[in-house]
Amino acid sequence: MFSHMTHEKAHFQKFKSVTGFFRYMIKCFHSHMRNKSLDKHAKEHMIEHEKEHEELSKVAFEGLCGENKQLSWRKDGLCTRLGQGFCQHYIAVGILVEEEVSADTNEHTSTTDIQTRTDLRFYHQLFCEWFACFRLVEVVAATRNASELKNVLDKVDPFNLQYLYRFTCGISPAVGKRIIEYLKSRRDSAKFAILCILEQTGEVDGIKDTVRDLCSSQVEINGLLHSRLLQRSTIQLLEIGARYDVSFPISPIITKFTKYKVTRDQRRPQ
């Protein structure tokens, strides 16, 4: 459906950040839902649900970063918290998905007596990270110093929640600046911080010098020594350099447990 709605639209080809792309995709889903409705009053509520999702953002953030992490919730409980109309709207849009799961039973329960309940989850974790980022903006903005910021972000693992960081930097430049400084202070996160900078500006010019520096000496992508976050970040930065024709001398790229190379002639990842 998203591909259909963006077919032959020029601005679809001009996205410069993951945040911009995902924001547009969410907008498409809501717009498609409104276009199907003939009820003017219902459309007004749809617009309200699209813009006012503070509680859903809290739920998403708690699910990803709270003490009791979870990616699915009992439908009755979540609908009570968010509102029945809100939940039904997000189910209809497709962002939330219903699942029938077995209710808690004991070992003596017969097969015919097994009860089920309905749970709700996000269609994909990326949607959960998108809504959670709005809550993370508020949480980071409320921290008063670097120590409090570290206490918050140490619980938000960039290895597993890469897009939560990138979305947050993309929607709030002020908060993003503080997050980027935190990432730079972490071991193996400096290259990932560059990708977050790109989310802030959407302009490659600001990171071209960094990409040139990266590729001016030997580049190593090592599955034994480097985290997957570091490997992914290195590869994505090389892809950016190839895509935007950044002029840099190609040096050997040492790879372990990966089939990634850049040719001198093409300057494009294979």
Copy the structure tokens of residue 250: 């190609």
Among 86-90, 157-161, 182-186, 242-246, name the one with the lowest average pLDDT: 242-246
Which residue's entry shows tokens 């994505």? 236
- Half-sphere exposure of residue 187: CA atoms within 13 angstroms, side-chain side: 3
Q: Where are the domains of the chain?
A: 2-101+117-126, 203-270
Tell me, what DSSP letter sits at residue 161? -
Check pLDDT > 70 for residue 270: no
Higher pLDDT among residues 172 and 221, named by residue: 172
Strands, E assignment, the chain? 72-74, 96-102, 116-122, 219-222, 253-256
Tally Cβ neighbours within 10 Å of residue 83: 14
8 A C-beta contact, residue 53 and residue 134: yes
Q: Return the pLDDT at 230.
A: 72
| Long-range contacts, 91-94 (Cβ 8 Å, 24+) | 91/120, 92/33, 93/29, 93/30, 93/33, 94/29, 94/123
Q: Which pTM was predicted?
A: 0.76
If we measure between CA atoms, which residue out of 188, 94, 196 comes closest to residue 136? 196
Average pLDDT (165-169) is 94
